Amino acid sequence: MYDYLGNWYEIARLDYRFEHNLDNVMANYSVNKEGNVRVINSGFNTVEGQWEEVEGIGKFRGDEHIGALKVRFFGPFYEGYNVIAIDNHYNYALVAGRNLNYLWILSRDKTLPQPIKEKYLKLSELIGFNVSKLVWVNHDKVNPLENRNTQTEED
């Protein structure tokens, strides 16, 4: 999982209320003092015309070398976060939540090569996700999170 740390751009997602109307979405993963995963998600709210950011905490559900976490952003409730596909160089990832309502396609870059896109869409469909409902995220602005040193900020 430690190769997974750093910045990831959200390429596509199944929309849900916390990310509704967000474009230019990215996430940063780092390890905090307790050994948990610090998660910072940010994006530009196209309706409000402003950047939004939320910080959460991820805890490994088992082996810390396996991408299976429980993540909390609001209140005491944790949600599933499961890396179900990743390339050998940790450049592209397919992430699912606790059920078929949560899916993300992530990339280290603001774009995704067509072969990776096709592979992840096919895998998602085989699992049972409705890929026709994916929201494809625009990346036409510089996200303020891109230039922050999130590795050294205090928790």
For 10, 56, 104, 119, 131, the CA distances from 29, given in Å and listed in that order, are 13, 10, 15, 24, 25
- Give the pLDDT confidence score for residue 81 in this predicted structure: 87
103 Rama class: left (phi>0) / alpha (psi -120 to 50) / beta: beta
The pLDDT tens digits of the residues spanning 94-122 come to 999 989 999 999 999 999 999 999 999 99
105 touches 131 (CB < 8 A): no
Domains by residue range for the chain, with CATH: 2-141 (2.40.128.20)
25 touches 41 (CB < 8 A): yes
- Give the pLDDT confidence score for residue 151 in this predicted structure: 61
Going by pLDDT thresholds of 50, 70 and 90, the confidence category of residue 153 is very low
- Give the pLDDT confidence score for residue 143 in this predicted structure: 92
Average pLDDT taken over every residue of the chain: 89
